[in-house]
Structure 1
């Protein structure tokens, strides 16, 4: 690391190194794989719910 401008004190330089080291050590969050895709979410919300009862299996094919 090279300081191009200014004249930092040893304490300021130590604080800067500490912040940079802590930032580098922080793990990046993993992508959320449990979330359904946008396509699946669209169809989940657009379908009408099925109601159990006599003859409803026939009605399930006709919206």
Structure 2
């Protein structure tokens, strides 16, 4: 092992559980995927076939589209 470690504990003595939690947080922050990706917008044709899936209510049924 000639490489430097990615995480180095400078002060204190973390328990194995604390160190594992730290590694999970660092690994979670370093992912390149977007965890808050939005669902694709439905077309008007799809919404007409499934009106409940559009997120509208009876109040909005009288509003112009």
TM-score computed with the length of structure 1 as normaliser: 0.40
Greater CA radius of gyration, 1 or 2?
1
TM-score computed with the length of structure 2 as normaliser: 0.39
Q: Which has the higher contact order (CA 8 A, sep 6+)?
A: 1
